[in-house]
Amino acid sequence: MLAALLCRARALLAGPAPAPAPQPASPLPALWAAGHLDIADFSDCPRENRRTPHAMRADGSRRCFRCGHETPGQDL
Ligand SMILES: [Zn+2]
């Protein structure tokens, strides 16, 4: 009797595991490519003549966070 109950319980518990919910793809690469956000990185600032943090855009242009100097993209 007990064995039958255990067998049934095992059968109920051994069903297929629910598939994990698919993770949505990150929208960040598409937003960056569309110019809606920038990546922060260090780059040479021509105005200050030293490496400073910059906002890097998808078109290759960048803006210095310290002095606001705009450097045009060189990928064109
Ligand atoms: Zn600068």
| Percent of all residues in the chain with a pLDDT value above 70, rounded to a whole number | 96
Q: What is the pLDDT of residue 48?
A: 97
Q: What pLDDT is attached to residue 2?
A: 72
Residue type, 33: A
User: Kind and range of the H or E element at 13?
Assistant: helix 2-13
Gap from CA of 60 to ligand 1 centroid (Å)? 16
Query: How many C-beta atoms lie closer than 10 Å to residue 65's C-beta?
Result: 14
pLDDT confidence tier of residue 28, bands split at 50, 70 and 90 = confident
Confidence band (pLDDT; 50, 70, 90) for 24?
Answer: confident
Query: How far apart are the CA of 20 and the centre of ligand 1, in A?
Result: 47
Instruction: Kindly give the distance from the C-alpha atom of residue 72 to the centroid of ligand 1, in angstroms, as a whole number.
Output: 14
